[in-house]
Amino acid sequence: MDLTPLVRRWLAAWTIARELGPAVDVPGGFRVTLGLPGRHHEFMAPDAAGLPALVTALKAIEPSWLTAFTTDPAATEVALKAEGLEFFTDAETFMRTDLDGRPKRRPAEGYTVATTVDGPLIRAAVTAPDGTAAASGLMAVAGTDAVAHGIQTDEAHRRRGLGGAVMTALGEAATARGATTGLLIASAAGEGLYRSMGWETLATVVTVRA
């Protein structure tokens, strides 16, 4: 499966979610400028063929990150370690879903969820019965795609289905704005939630630095 078109679409909305400039095509994949300490650029490799060129770019422009999308994580790990690159985060999962018709989750009794829209950005916030913030997240809409980002639940309110309530609220608001496909990169902790809501796995995502 050629992941390049989907990675390009994910980047279009992810950069909006992060309030960054658009991704730039470079040999082997894409480059995003974050301008952060230790993460000036992030190079994105949608397939193994692009790794050599992006590894060269990574080493030439430090400090930067390289994120690789792969359906063969073992081989990718071997190739990146052979280049002397450092794995400093856990592997994650690239996922997609059809937004229409996904399982709906509502907040637990006493909790309320509200969404706000600011251009292409949709934010959802769950409030606890005592008025404190319990969970939140956002989606950025680009064309017919919506990318979820920053989904989190306060530790005191976990295991109450609030992450699912946030995803439902975001998905409904994105659908109302014409989005049909959801894309995200899930942490190991969040993957189970998304899978239970009908999201499918496309690839493993690994990130390294020089």
CA distances from 106 to 5, 54, 79, 116 (A): 33, 43, 44, 17
pLDDT of residue 44: 98
- Locate the domains of the chain by residue range: 4-93, 97-201
pLDDT of residue 102: 73
Radius of gyration for the chain, computed over Cα atoms and rounded to the nearest angstrom: 18
Q: State the 10-residue block means of pLDDT for the chain, 210 residues long.
A: 94 97 98 95 96 96 94 96 96 96 85 96 97 96 97 93 95 96 96 94 97
User: For tokens 């950069």, what's the residue?
Assistant: 15
Phi, psi of 64 (to 5 degrees): -140, 170
pLDDT one-digit tens code per residue, 10-57: 999 999 999 999 999 999 999 999 999 999 999 999 999 999 999 999
The per-residue b/e assignment along 83-114, b for 16 or more CB within 10 angstroms, e otherwise, is: eebeeeeeebbbbbbebeebeebebbeebebe
At the fourth CATH level, the homologous superfamily of domain 97-201 is: Gcn5-related N-acetyltransferase (GNAT) (3.40.630.30)
